[in-house]
Structure 1
Amino acid sequence: MEYNRHFNVDLETYSSVNLKKSGLYKYVQSPDFEILLMAYSYCDGPVSVIDIAQGEKIPDWIRYALQDEGTLKHAYNAPFEWYCLSKFFNTPLGQWRCTMLHGLYCGYTAGLAATAIALGLPEDKRKMSIGSALIRTFCVPCKPTNKNGNRTRTLPHHEPEKWNLFKEYCRQDVVTEMEIERKLSNFPVPEQEQKLWELDQQINAYGVTVDQKLIEGALHCDQIVTGELTREAVMLSGLENPKSVKQLTEWLTEETGDEVENLQKATVTSLIKTIDSDNAKRMLEIRQELSKTSVRKYTTMCEAVCEDGRVRGLLQFYGANRTGRWAGRLVQVQNLPRNYLETLSHARDCVKGKKVNALKLIYGNIPDTLSQLIRTAFIPSEGNVFIDADFSAIEARVIAWLSGEQWKLDVFATHGKIYEASASQMFGVPFELIVKGNPEYELRQRGKVAELGLGYGMGANKFKDTAEHKYEMFFTEDEAKDIVRRWRSANKRIVDLWYSIENAVIEVMKTGYPVGIKGLMIARECDYNNNQDFLTITLPSGRKLFYTRPGLQINEFNKDSLYYYGINQKTKKWELVPTYGGKLVENIVQAIARDCLAESLMRLKSAGYQTVMHIHDEVVLDTPKSTDLDKVCEIMGRPISWAPGLLLKADGFVATFYKKD
């Protein structure tokens, strides 16, 4: 649709609900939620501020613009403005555009001020640094004191000078947002991504029901058990605070006679197996139990649940801006503990009944049991079931398809047992022998770890560490080197893909001419008027990956290497970061896998299914009991027009609560 008018907007709001802890939806649904200020610009005109908190009214023409099909609404983090305004006005989601998404799509970081800085905006166009303090003053409740007259919130007339600053801060947000949009205007978000963003908002707003009785029981059981374990640890060690890493490390060193360097998960697991002191061993076991993250997840659910029993806003669209994958928010559904208990339903009943002694007797480690049950706190709507379906080995399928690794394509076209097939290729053992009961079956685990870890150029040392910390498999340096060598020898086309992509990127950077390779298009795209410079990789779906302000530098191996500006995963700062062929292939493969999930989400929506969550390669649908699981899996496994020859397969199950099958 052609839009003739543009409306840029920023809101400042008040609610007694904690926005960070409880999320947008519960925040806005609070009865005391109100809009304090509205800053706006119409058709690139000057920015004005409506002081709603002091009685100014939103003009009728703005009310009309909010629902006008010919007026495009822009905001930074538009879901916030859209949902806030939707409480009072009709403003269709399809007429909104999110400048934060635009920045993330183009490879920039999240956050208005951070994006402005990364874009090199002049100082007067950056977000005012005083903003956070002003938000704390006017947007959240305050603690009553004698000094402030025992009031519970600060109103404009309490701090008139600060209020004027706050209005300027709100105005400046719109100025900055408009400038970001202008800077990126020649690199638009594709229409398909816009539609997907709209679907994401609908999924987030719909939410998912949580079992509040289970949450209440889990918090009760944890409080009792944590108290018991803490008292036991104090009696064993005499420490004032047995949870203190410093205190416990010093005590363990003294108790065992050997210096304990750290209390990381792998270190604690290893020490429990090797130390002789029963007291020290028990202290480490207690630490393992107390370190479970289950309670924090339950507490977050409790804080985020809305009055109708649903938690909303669990997904962040384009949360991983390098690949476009979603990220988790609030409960972090992308990073939930796995469950292994065979009697999940019984364990749930015990927790809901607050039967601590029964849990001890049957399951032993209560914190671990609560951790395994965290997934099951998500339940379908009344009378419905969950259908949980996920792609089978999606990244392995994509990288085999992209590289043309034929033996893997043959596996996916037939039996699909990629871990057994990989072990057979690596170790020269007949595929038929790698079955349970045979000694050769042990090789399957090596094949699995190799498949999961080595597709993107990982070296032997990192593979050894990853196998130990992530999969609890222990290899010597020579064993790790041997596995890496065997895997690369069995996957020559994938190895070639790393170097082909890396060489193509370097060629583009040196010549400025685009290079097509493996169905991808690698190019240098610049907008000199707005000081924008990107290396882009166009994916088969048509979506692009952006590498901001790219350049070549000599790396540690004395070779040309691509560097670009992004978030350094170690320092968490916007700075120059290096990359290489294997990492570029990882970005591409994960991005294509993400696009396959996106295609499925849109197809499932068109077929009338309600998605409530999705995690990397998995979708969770809230559906009537009569829903056909096979039909859902068939939809997810359908061929994709932009990926001819990519063989997709989905498996799933039906459940009355969320779990890992």
Structure 2
Amino acid sequence: MMNLKSISWDLETYSSVDLAKCGVYRYCESKDFEILLAAYSIDGGAVQVTDLACGEKLPQEILDALEDETVEKWSYNSQFERICLSRLLGYPAGDYLAPESWRCSMVWASTLGLPRSLESVGAVLGLEKQKLTEGKDLIRYFCVPCKPTKANGGRTRNRPEHDPEKWERFKAYNLRDVETEMQIQKRLSKFPVPDAIWEEYHLDQEINDRGIGVDMELVRQAIVMDARSRERLTATMQELTELNNPNSVQQMKQWLADHGLETDTLGKKAVAELIKTAPEPLREVLSLRQQLAKSSVKKYTAMENAVCTDSRAHGMFVFYGANRTGRFSGRLIQLQNLYKNTMPDLAQARALVRSGNYEALSMLYEDIPDTLSQLIRTAFVPQDGRKLIVADFSAIEARVLAWLAGEKWVLEVFEKGGDIYCETAARMFHCRVEKHGENAELRQKGKQATLSCGYGGSVGALKAMGALEAGMTEEELQPLVDSWRAANPNIVRFWWDVDRAVKECVKMRIPTETHGLRFDYRSAMLFITLPSGRRLAYVKPRIGENQFGGESVTYMGVGGTKKWERLESYGPKFVENIVQGTARDILCYAMQTLKNCSIVAHVHDEIIIEADRRMSVTAVCEQMGRTPPWAKGLKLRADGYECEFYQKD
């Protein structure tokens, strides 16, 4: 066995399963899955390409190295290579190469605020060997099924012999990808990823490998029922409106206008408002339209696409998916934005859908799309006679913000187990506020302000959080913001101390500090060191001018348009990144504490465990609520419950 230390990998593969829709775990389970090309470099040496599609074999020592924990394996988005190579080694479904010796250069780029695609990183870093742009065409030709035509002899797949010249270009493309990845590592070597982050990444990979159980019978029946319900709703709408396509926005707007109701938009909020005052039959038509607009079935279809042969959905979480804060993001089924369930009789509705009893469901629940939407969470289930334990942090961002800002009264409320929304309202309105007692109506205002104003938000933020829908008037919004700021002077001071520290650091290129945070300018990067020791990174920061003519800090990042562009920030916005980044570090600390408890999912500040029947919720919450050693004085609390299917308590 040669004495190798590291291997950099890139694979080109074929499968008839759609990778973007189904994810790599399901993709590799396809009967026709095949690794076509494997490019690798040993210890930074020349890249070699093994043409597996044409019968070449990877050397035995390279295959052995895959299972050797002392050899570091590198790749760009290494989850893909690791899962595909598990298949090559003959691992059974549901079993994968251990992630511990794998490193991912995409994660490395993300920790430095760089884009996540290999092509974009190459361009941003100005590498001399960049990813070849013709790759997309070659992948389309060799890696996915093709349409049978007369010209191609009715074949459904292109192989190397069908275009030998293209195949040679594909091999060059495969080789270049490894060269690009190695150049990225070289370019980023000044800023290595700390071991603690690799440990978090390995835990993330374990959770993705474990997957979460899905009740496929419920999913299949829900899809069937949704189709029946849509058919019925559409037919009723056609009857009422005499339109051939009542789902068409154009036709519906015209029909409403003909019946005396003008509207610019048929968005969810607008329709909800119109329903309140519209006369019959317009109200009924709008209500039917609202039911049809529910995209409940999309989540069920996503489950059907992603679930593997072990009835589990794998690969739901993207480590460092939000690279401004390092938080996780979701993919495939997107657990981060599931519909809330508020129905009291969830189990009954679930049983009716699962047994396919459409008649009983439509008799008992008038809004079937809404019922199916509320049941989405319940499709996630424990397996093998276990139960789910769901635990989440209570008001984590409000706690972290007050702790960093030194807003003592807020910390004392949490310390005593008080209700932060009541106490905030009490300070804002200078009176006693009790949840179900004295001045109870003010609690909602305290809540709105707490959720909207912590990061410099003003009237716009209150509106975005639904203040007007909650019954507040336009006139009272600005006074509400002013009262909240007056009640939280240390948080307001914190925003502007951070603002000053960032500006001074960027202008003078010197390290600055405030509130236990450190700001550094190095190699055209701004780094903010959080209490955990982890750093947030901002690329090419400089002082610019904001829309009001004042000074602001700008930096390069992926903006709302998904493009690499110059973005603007200021004190409260940096504070938002700092607080959310710290909340993320607390979640990761809790996940490490609970890593032997079979975590199957996590959503925002919540952890979902597939637990042995004997495991107690109290013990899980106790472990989860432990304050990390680097957060002295921060009081955490986790609340939890157990269930036979996932739900919001």
Same fold per TM (> 0.5)? yes
Counterpart residue identity of residue 621, structure 1: I
Partners in 1 of 2:586 and 2:418 — Cα distance? Answer: 18
Q: 1:306 to 1:465 in 2, by over 3 A?
A: closer
CA distance in 1, matches of 2:471, 2:142: 55
Q: 1:534 aligns with which of 525, 534, 554?
A: 525
Q: Verify the 8 A CA contact 1:334 1:615 in the aligned structure 2.
A: yes
The answer to whether the aligner puts 1:101 opposite 2:107 as a matched pair is yes
Corresponding residue of 2:187: 183
Out of 223, 226, 236, the residue aligned to residue 222 of structure 1 is 226
Alignment partner, residue 94 of structure 2: none
Matches within 5 A, 1:90-489: 92-122=98-128, 125-258=129-262, 260-276=263-279, 278-431=280-433, 434-436=434-436, 438=438, 440-468=439-467, 472-489=469-486
Aligned to 1:492: 489
Aligned mates of 1:205, 1:435 — CA distance in 2: 43
1:5–1:71: 8 Å Cα contact kept in structure 2?
yes
Residues 534 and 4 (structure 1), Cα distance of their counterparts in 2 relative to 1, 3 Å cut: farther
Q: Secondary structure at the match of 1:23?
A: helix
Q: CA deviation at 1:69?
A: 4.0
Instruction: Within 5 Å, give how 1:516-595 maps onto structure 2.
Output: 516-526=513-523, 533-569=524-560, 571-595=561-585
Conserved in 1, the CA contact under 8 Å of 2:448 and 2:467? no
* Distance 1:27-1:583 versus aligned 2 partners, 3 A rule: same
Give the counterpart letter for 1:534 in structure 2.
M
Q: Compute the displacement of 1:215 (Å).
A: 0.7
SS of the equivalent of 2:466 reads helix
In structure 1, C-alpha distance between the alignment counterparts of 2:287 and 2:217, rounded to whole Å: 29
* Cα deviation digits, residues 520-559 of structure 1 (max 9, x gap): 1111011xxxxxx210100111110000111111212322
Paired AA for residue 429 in structure 1: C
Q: Aligned equivalents of 1:405 and 1:115: distance in 2? A: 40
Offset, 1:74:
1.0
User: Contact conserved, 2:452 with 2:458, CA < 8 A, in 1?
Assistant: no
Q: Which amino acid aligns with 1:565?
A: M
**1:157-210 deviation line (CA, Å, top 9, x unaligned):** 012122111111111111111111111111111111101101111110111111
Is it true that 1:620 corresponds to 2:620 in the alignment?
Answer: no
User: Which secondary structure does the structure 2 equivalent of 1:97 belong to?
Assistant: strand
Q: Is the 8 A contact 1:16 1:30 kept in 2?
A: yes
User: In structure 2, what residue type is equivalent to 1:202?
Assistant: E
Structure 2 residue runs without a partner (length 5+): 92-96
> Residue 621 of structure 2 corresponds to which residue in structure 1?
633
Which amino acid letter does the alignment assign opposite residue 448 of structure 1? K
Q: Partners of 1:468 and 1:239 in 2: how far apart? A: 37
What is the alpha-carbon root mean square deviation over aligned residues? 1.6
Query: For the residues of structure 1 that align with 2:266 and 2:418, how far apart are their CA atoms?
Result: 40
Aligned to 1:530: none
Match of 1:11 in 2: 11
CA distance in 1, matches of 2:258, 2:175: 60
- Mapped to 2, the partners of 1:84 and 1:565 lie a distance apart of 34
Alignment of 1:604 onto 2:606: no
**1:554-603 Cα shifts (integer Å, max 9, x gaps):** 2123222110001111x221100101111110100000000000000000
Corresponding residue of 1:60: 60
Q: Percent identity among equivalent residues? A: 46
Distance across 1 between alignment mates of 2:583 and 2:210: 25
Equivalenced residue count is 641
Q: How big is the shift at 1:250?
A: 2.7
Q: Distance in 1 between matches of 2:67 and 2:514?
A: 45
For residue 597 of structure 2, give the secondary structure of its aligned residue in structure 1: coil
Instruction: Report 1:31-46 matches (<5 A).
Output: 31-46=31-46
User: Is the contact between residue 563 and residue 576 of structure 1 (CA under 8 Å) also seen in structure 2?
Assistant: yes
Contact kept, 8 Å, 1:256 with 1:280, in 2: the verdict is: no
Preserved CA contact (<8 Å) 1:464 1:474: no
Render the CA deviation track for 1:588-630: whole Å, top value 9, x for unaligned.
000000000000000001xx20000001110000011111110
8 Å CA contact 1:337–1:375 kept in 2: the answer is yes
Check the 8 A contact 1:4/1:70 in 2, yes or no: no
1:328, CA displacement in angstroms? Answer: 0.8
- Separation of aligned partners in 2, 1:161 and 1:238: 58
More off after superposition, 139-148 vs 406-415: 139-148
Deviates most, 365-374 or 281-290: 281-290
Give secondary structure in 2 for the equivalent of 1:40. Answer: strand
Whole-angstrom CA distance in 1 between matches of 2:403 and 2:217 = 46
Contact 1:461–1:480 under 8 Å retained in 2: no
Contact 2:4-2:42 at 8 Å conserved across structures: no
Q: CA deviation at 1:474?
A: 4.2
Q: Counterparts of 2:432 and 2:299 in 1: how far apart (Å)?
A: 45
Moved more, 86-95 or 517-526: 86-95
Query: Which has the larger displacement, 148-157 or 239-248?
Result: 239-248
Query: Does the CA-based 8 Å contact 1:318-1:325 persist in structure 2?
Result: yes
Q: Deviations over 1:224-257 (max 9, x none)?
A: 1100111112222232322222222232223224
Q: CA deviation at 1:139?
A: 1.1
Question: 8 Å contact 2:319–2:328 — kept in the other structure?
Answer: yes
Secondary structure in 2 matching 1:220: helix
**What is the aligned partner in structure 2 of residue 529 from structure 1?**
none
Say if 1:627 and 1:70 are closer, same or farther in 2 by CA, change over 3 A: closer
In the TM superposition, what is the alpha-carbon distance from 1:88 to its structure 2 partner? 3.0
Q: For residue 556 of structure 1, what is the amino acid of its counterpart?
A: Q
Superposed displacement of residue 452, structure 1: 1.1
Tell whether the 8 Å contact from 1:464 to 1:476 is kept in structure 2 after alignment: no
TM-score by length of 2: 0.96
Deviations 1:275-306 (A, max 9, x none): 23x23222221121112121000011111111
Q: Cα deviation per residue 1:4-31 (whole Å; 9 max; x = unaligned)?
A: 7331110001112211111110111223
CA distance in 1: counterparts of 2:227 and 2:65, whole angstroms = 52
The residue identity in structure 2 corresponding to 1:504 is A
Give the SS at the match of 1:87. helix
Give the Cα separation in 2 of the matches to 1:646 and 1:15: 50
SS at match of 2:150: coil
Query: Shift in Å at residue 40 of structure 1?
Result: 1.4
Distance in 2 (CA, whole Å) between partners of 1:112 and 1:187 is 18
* Structure-2 change in CA distance of 1:88 and 1:461 (3 Å): closer
CA distance in 2, matches of 1:424, 1:174: 60
Residue 363 of structure 1 aligns with an amino acid whose one-letter code is Y
- Provide structure 1 residue ranges, at least 5 long, that are not aligned to the other structure: 527-532
1:477: Cα distance to partner? 2.9
TM-score (ref. length: structure 1):
0.95
Helix, strand or coil at the partner of 2:594: helix
Q: Distance in 2 between matches of 1:257 and 1:98?
A: 56
